[in-house]
Structure 1
Amino acid sequence: MSRRPLALLAATATATALTLAACAAEPETAPAATDPATTAAEPAPLTLGLTYVPDIQFAPFYVAAEKGYYEEAGLDVTLRHHGQSEGLFTAISAEEEDVVVAGGDEMLQARSQGVPLVSVATLYQQYPVALIVPEDSDIRSAADLAGRTVGIPGPFGETYFGLVALLQDAGLTEDDVTVEHIGFTQQAALTGGHVDAVMGFVNNDAVRFAEAGTPVRTIEIAEGEVPLVGISLGTLEATAEERGEDVAAFVEASLRGVADVAADPEAAVEISAAQVPDLDRPEQRQAALATLEATVPLYEGAGEPGAHEAGVWEEMVTLLTDAGLLEADVDPAQAWTDRFLPAASN
C-alpha cells in the first residue's frame, strides 16, 4: 500500500497496539522497475568548431541543426564559432571541440606539427581558391605572373597553399613574383591597383567582385587536378577511436545538410538568417544566395559525398613537403579515413 501521512500513523498508534503491529507488518508496494528498453537514451553532446564568425558558408550545419538531423542522429550538437582571433585548431587541440571545419591542407600541416587530426569527410570536392585578375589584365595564365605582384591575406591558409600550387604548376617559385600580404582586402587591393592579382575564394571573393560591378576573371590553380584538399571535417584520432559511432552519425547528418543546401540554396539562406547577422536585409540576403549558388559546384565530385581521394592526399603531401610547409613527415594514408561515411562498408 502507499505510505501513510504522518498524522494518520500517529493516530493509529494511540488506538491499539494490535492495529499498530498489523500496520507495521504490512509490506509497502515496491516501485515499478524501469525497463531499459523503454528509456530513451540521452543525446550525445558534440561540439563543432566553425572557424569564423557566423557566416553563410556554414549553411549546411545551420540547416542540419534546424531540421533536426543531429537530434535524429542521437546528438546534441553545439555550433561554436571561433571568431577572428582564435587559432584554427586551438580549441580542438584542447579537446574543447570534437569536430572542426577546416581545409584538408590545413589539417595536414597541423598534423605535421603534432596535432593528431584526421579528416573524416571532404565537403568541398573542388578546391575553392583561384587567381583573380582584372578582366582586362594581360595575365592570361599563371605563367604570366613572372615579375608581377600577387596579393594574399598572409603566408597561411588555403589562399597561400593555392598560390604555392599555382606557381608550381606554372614552373615558377615565389622568387619569380612579388607576394604582398594584404590581409583580407582582396577587393580593395585589386581595384586600387596595389597588386596585379589576388588569390581568393571563388565562392566568396569572386562573388564580392561581381556584386560590386568590378569585372574580373578567375584563373584555375592547375590545368589538371589540384593537388590540394579543400574544406573538410576533421577530428582528433582519439575522438575517432573512442566515439566512432557519434562521429559517423555527425558526418551523415551534416552531409544531409549539404545535400539540402545544394537542392535549395534559397531555403538554406532563409534558415541561416537565424544565425547570420543582417540576413534580414534584402541586399545581404541576395549576397548570401549568390555565395551559396557559387558553393554548390564545389560540393560536386565523382565519388560518394564526403569521400576522400587517396591520390590527391599523396600529391598534397609532396607539394607541401617540397615547399617546406610540413614540419615533419606525414603518412597521407593516416591523415584521412572514409570509414565514417554513410556508404562505408568498414
Structure 2
Amino acid sequence: MSLAHRPARRARRAAALTIATLLSAATLAACGSDDEPSGSGSDGEGVSDASITVQYSWIKNEEFAGEFYATEKGYYDEAGITDVTAIAGPSTGVAELIEGTVDVALSDAASIGAAIAEQDAPLKIIGATFQKNPFTILSLKDGADISTPADLVGKKIGVQASNENVFNALLNANGIDRDDLTVVPVEFDPTPLIKGEVDGFMAYLTNEAITVGAEQPVTNLAYAENGVPYVAETFSVTDQFLAENRDLLKAFLTAEIQGWSDVFTEPTADTVSLVEKFYNAGADAGDLNANFGPLPATTADSLEAQKELISTEETEANGLFTISDELKAQTVESLAAAGWEVDVDALFDTSILEEIYAENPDLVDYLS
C-alpha cells in the first residue's frame, strides 16, 4: 500500500479567495513592519546566530534527506544559522509564505506559478532540488502498458482533482483531445490501478511508481520526458524576504548544497538510517509521520529515484539547485500548457545561487 501522497503538494493549497485575502493582509503588514529574522542582514557580511523557518512539502521522509544531513552534520550551524524550524507538510507553502509564517517553502513550479499567474502573488523560486518534473502516468506492464502519449487514447486514466490542470498540460503538449480518453476521479492511493479499475494512474516517480513497482512490473510515462518538463521541490520565498534577507538565504542554500551533496556521496544505507531517525522523530512530535507507520522498505529505491530527478548534466556542470535558462523557459511553457501564464523573470531569481558558486566553485562538484 502506497502512502496517500500529497494532495496539497501537487497543487495550490489555498483557494483563490484565500490567497487574495492573505495577499492583502501581507501588503498591509509589509507596510508597517521593519522586523527581520535574527541575524538575517543583507549587507554582505554573512549571518551569525540566525534563525529560519522552512515549510516542507510533505512528511519528514527521504524527500528531505539533504535537509537531514545539513542538520545532522552541522552545516546550518557552520553557515551561521543556529535555529532551523522545519515544518512537516503536506503543503505547497504558498499560503504560509504569504501569511509570513514561514521564510522558505519547499514547493513546486506549478503551485508557485499558479499563485503568481492567478493572484499576482509576490513569490520567487530561487533554486530547485528536482530538475525534472516528478509526475508520471503509472500503468501495469502486464496491463495497459502506457509507454507513449499516444497510448493514452482510449484508456481510463485516474487523475486526482487537484492534478487536473497538470494532466491537461500533458494532453495539450502532445496534441491529445481529452474526449479521446476517459478521466476517472481518484484519490492518491493507487489501489484503483492495481484492481484494474483504471488503465493508468497519475503518480509520482519517487512514490507510487516505486511502491507499486515493488510488487509487479510497471511502466512509467514520465511528464518530464513527454512535453511537460518543469522544476519541483523548489526553494521558494516572497519577494520581500528575498530583498531583505539575501545573506540569510545565501547561508541557508550553502548549507543545503552541502547536505544534498552528502546524499550523493554517503552510502545509501547510511542515508536510509538518517531518514529513519528523522522520520521517527517526526512521528514522536505528533506530526503526520505518525499516521504512516514505520519507514517504508522501499526508501532506498525512492532515494535512488530522487537522484535521477536531482542530478543532470546541467547540475553536474553548474551545481545543485541551479536552473538553466533553457529549463526556466521550458518550465514556463509547461505552466502555460496547464493554463498558467507567467514570465520567467516573474517566477525565477537564481542570483543567490550564482553568487554562491562564483565564491565557492568547489561546491559545484557534488559527486565526489
- Smaller-chain TM-score range? 0.7 to 0.9
The answer to whether the 8 A contact 2:127-2:321 is kept is yes
Match of 2:107 among 102, 105, 121: 102
Distance 2:337 2:309 in 1: 27
Deviates more, 1:335-344 or 1:240-249: 335-344
Matched letter for residue 147 of structure 2: R
Q: CA deviation at 1:274?
A: 2.4
**Structure 1 partner of 2:299:** 288
Deviates more, 1:299-308 or 1:137-146: 137-146
1:311 aligns with 2:326: yes
Match of 1:274 among 272, 277, 294: 277
**Structure 2 partner of 1:204:** 207
Provide, for residues 222-247 of structure 1, a one-character-per-residue CA deviation record: whole Å limited to 9, x for no partner: 65664322221111111111000100
Matched letter for residue 294 of structure 1: A
The answer to whether the 8 A contact 1:63-1:272 is kept is no
Residue 164 to residue 76, structure 1, CA distance change in 2 (3 Å): farther
Matched letter for residue 76 of structure 1: T
Unaligned runs of 5+ residues in structure 2 are: 1-46, 284-291, 360-368
Residue 198 to residue 165, structure 1, CA distance change in 2 (3 Å): same
Match of 2:219 among 214, 217, 228: 217
**Structure 1 partner of 2:347:** 335
Q: CA deviation at 1:196?
A: 0.8
Deviates more, 1:253-262 or 1:137-146: 137-146
Q: CA deviation at 1:324?
A: 2.5
Q: Which structure: greater helix fraction?
A: 2
Provide, for residues 161-208 of structure 1, a one-character-per-residue CA deviation record: whole Å limited to 9, x for no partner: 65234323321133332222311112x010111111012111111110
Unaligned runs of 5+ residues in structure 1 are: 1-40
Match of 2:235 among 233, 238, 259: 233
The answer to whether the 8 A contact 1:128-1:230 is kept is yes
Matched letter for residue 309 of structure 1: S
Q: CA deviation at 1:269?
A: 1.9
Higher alpha-carbon Rg:
1
**Structure 2 partner of 1:47:** 53
Query: What secondary structure is seen at the aligned counterpart in 1 of 2:161?
Result: coil
Distance 2:344 2:162 in 1: 23
Distance 2:225 2:209 in 1: 19
**Structure 2 partner of 1:144:** 151
Residue 179 to residue 282, structure 1, CA distance change in 2 (3 Å): closer
Quick one: percent identity of the two aligned structures? Answer: 24
Deviates more, 1:242-251 or 1:303-312: 303-312
**Structure 1 partner of 2:42:** none
Q: CA deviation at 1:294?
A: 1.5
Query: What secondary structure is seen at the aligned counterpart in 2 of 1:130?
Result: strand
**Structure 1 partner of 2:175:** 171
Matched letter for residue 188 of structure 2: F
Deviates more, 1:244-253 or 1:331-340: 331-340
Deviates more, 1:162-171 or 1:279-288: 279-288
Match of 1:256 among 255, 258, 264: 258
Q: CA deviation at 1:219?
A: 1.8
Query: What secondary structure is seen at the aligned counterpart in 2 of 1:234?
Result: strand
Q: CA deviation at 1:333?
A: 1.8
Residue 155 to residue 286, structure 1, CA distance change in 2 (3 Å): closer
Query: What secondary structure is seen at the aligned counterpart in 1 of 2:162?
Result: coil
Match of 1:76 among 53, 74, 82: 82
Q: CA deviation at 1:323?
A: 3.5
Residue 123 to residue 322, structure 1, CA distance change in 2 (3 Å): closer
1:57 aligns with 2:57: no
Scaled by the length of structure 2, what TM-score is found? 0.73
Deviates more, 1:70-79 or 1:317-326: 317-326
Query: What secondary structure is seen at the aligned counterpart in 2 of 1:273?
Result: helix
Distance 1:236 1:339 in 2: 15
The answer to whether the 8 A contact 1:130-1:219 is kept is yes
